Structure 1
Amino acid sequence: MIGVLLVDDEALTLDLHRQYVQRLEGFRVVAECSGARSALSALLERPTAGDIELVLLDMTMPDGSGLDVLRHVRARARNVDVIAITSVRDADVVRQAVALGAVQYLVKPFTFADFRERMSQYARFRERADETTGAATQAEIDAMLGALRPVAAPAPKGLTPETLERVSIRLRDAGALSAREAAEALGMSRVAARRYLEHLADAGRAERAQRYGAPGRPEAEYRWRG
């Protein structure tokens, strides 16, 4: 289980992020902070500091910025991963956050599907890093860094990027869908839904399998892989 520290100055946002983390496998909330100073205390002084492996860090707080937190943590050589979660879109802030070691930058507002995708990417990165020991090969390094990036699935001829995104989001939220279920949920034909689902499977974003148990012919089921 990856220990998570939540940092945000809005109580409702903290509550939402806690619920999001609790819906994920492999993560647990260790502590919550509503400001920069309390975040530094949690990371550097409290007994729970050693349990924190990932920080979901807001960039704007009344008593300091997320960048301030990152600078102090790095100055103390604290080895912890950070995902910036913020409404700040300033390119210079993004650059500084990355330079200080943020592995992801997620802009508010976002859906649970967006959150789950970034956390899944981070979990894959951790898995790759844990599997690699000693001197890493270039391929191993590429695999570690590549795990933090989404796999592009451009729409081929006849498929629109907008509809592909809708189908992707629906499949991510549902976890598993047949073409019939996707068509009913999105108001499109079963043939069109199957084309988009097949494309996601061919691109490695989904897995296809046969669903049994219902009367009649078995139907293909698609499961989101991310």
Structure 2
Amino acid sequence: MSGDDLKVLVVEDDFRVANMHAGIVSALPGFTVSATANTVAAARKAGPVDLALVDVYLPDGSGIDLIRELRCDSMVLSAATESDTIRAAVAAGAVGYLVKPFAPTELAARLSGYARYRRILSGGNLDQRDIDAALDALRPRAGAQQPTAASSAATTTRSGR
């Protein structure tokens, strides 16, 4: 871990999925998993981080409510696809939303985009072009790899929640 690495909190109630997400994060240069948590209560006890990867469904509360409390950027990683849930996540401050199941390359691409976003915003005063570039960095690229049935079965996070 270098001092410049982005620190990530993984909040996921399924420990296997949490470990998989943590592995994807750890494999990317510039990122370090600082903690994993399987409940809202455990996430609240985690130290300061730059980014939280949060599931919507947690045993002791809503991941969306947790996002409102956190003092960091957050991305939702969830099987929830209801429009109200997605709007609530964005309103709570989520900078990204990735629907399970997804391929590891999808999460890696979102994290790389997030790193670009952070680099752009690390400057002083920004012009409109810089602001647009920062926000564009958070959006998935056209033609990004979508999971196939075989890769979904092998890399799925859980499809029921």
Same fold by TM-score, threshold 0.5 exceeded?
A: yes
Larger Rg: 1
Task: Give how far 1:137 is off.
Answer: 1.4
**Structure 1 residue 82 corresponds to structure 2 residue 86:** no
Separation in 1 of the partners of 2:77 and 2:65?
Answer: 15
Larger RCO: 1 or 2 (CA < 8 Å, sep 6+) = 2
Separation in 2 of the partners of 1:148 and 1:165?
Answer: 16
Task: Give how far 1:71 is off.
Answer: 2.4
User: Match of 2:74, SS?
Assistant: strand
1:38 pairs with one of 35, 42, 49 = 42
**Structure 1 residue 72 corresponds to structure 2 residue 62:** no
**Structure 1 residue 133 corresponds to structure 2 residue 124:** yes
Q: Which runs of 5+ in 2 are unaligned?
A: 148-161
Separation in 2 of the partners of 1:59 and 1:113?
Answer: 21
**Corresponding residue of 1:183:** none
Q: TM-score, normalised by structure 2?
A: 0.82
**Corresponding residue of 2:59:** 62
TM-aligned CA distance change 1:41 to 1:165, over 3 Å: closer
Q: TM-score, normalised by structure 1?
A: 0.60
8 Å contact kept, 2:78–2:100: yes
Task: Give how far 1:150 is off.
Answer: 2.9
Task: Give how far 1:165 is off.
Answer: 5.5
> What are the superposed Cα offsets for residues 154-195 of structure 1, whole Å, 9 maximum, x if unpaired?
xxxxxxxxxx968xx8xxxxxxxxxxxxxxxxxxxxxxxxxx
**Structure 1 residue 149 corresponds to structure 2 residue 139:** yes
User: Match of 1:117, SS?
Assistant: helix
8 Å contact kept, 2:25–2:33: yes
Report matched runs for 1:94-109 at 5 Å: 94-109=86-101
Q: Which has the higher helix share?
A: 1
Give aligned pairs, total: 143
> What are the superposed Cα offsets for residues 13-58 of structure 1, whole Å, 9 maximum, x if unpaired?
111111111211110010110001111222xxxxxx23x1110101
Q: Which runs of 5+ in 1 are unaligned?
A: 43-48, 154-163, 170-226
8 Å contact kept, 2:65–2:92: no
TM-aligned CA distance change 1:151 to 1:13, over 3 Å: closer
**Structure 1 residue 6 corresponds to structure 2 residue 10:** yes
Task: Give how far 1:68 is off.
Answer: 1.4
8 Å contact kept, 2:8–2:35: yes
RMSD, aligned CA: 1.8
Task: Give how far 1:151 is off.
Answer: 3.5
User: Match of 2:32, SS?
Assistant: strand
